Amino acid sequence: MNQQQALYEILTFSPLREQAISLYLNYDDEGFRFELTKNIIILVLEKCLNKVISVEDLEEWASFVDCRDEIISERFEDYIYALSNPAIMNAVDMTNKKAIALTELEIGKIERMLVCLTG
C-alpha cells in the first residue's frame, strides 16, 4: 500500500484503516500531497448517518483533515471547520442541561451538508 492509498484508507474509515495508519506513520515524504474530494466527504458523512462511525469519529476526522498540511482541503474548508467545531457551529447553551443533545444537532447539520454536496 503506497502513501496515497494509505491516507485514502484512513480518511474513508475502510476495513484496512488500522493497517493503513501503521504504514502511513512510516512514510516521510515532505512533498506528498493528497487532495480531499467531494466523494470522500460524502462517503464519510454517509457512514456517520448510517451509524458506521460516530459523530465523535466524524469530528476527530475533520480535525485530522484540518491539521494535516499534506491534505489539500481548501475547497471544502467551511465543511471541515463546521465538522471539527460542533459546539461553535451549533450555538448551544452548554449550561442548559436540558438542551437538545449536541449529537442530534450534529445529525441535522450532517444531513444538510450531504444535501448540499449531492444536490
Residues 78-117: tens digit of each pLDDT: 999 988 887 666 554 545 544 444 466 677 888 888 888 8
pLDDT at 100: 46
Residue 59 and residue 83 in contact, taking contact as beta carbons nearer than 8 Å: yes
Is 1 among the domain residues?
no
pTM score, two decimals? 0.82
d(C-alpha 27, C-alpha 6), whole Å? 10
Q: How many domains is the chain partitioned into structurally?
A: 1
| Domain of residue 37, residue span | 33-118
Is 80 among the domain residues?
yes
Is 38 among the domain residues?
yes
Is 61 among the domain residues?
yes
Is 19 among the domain residues?
no
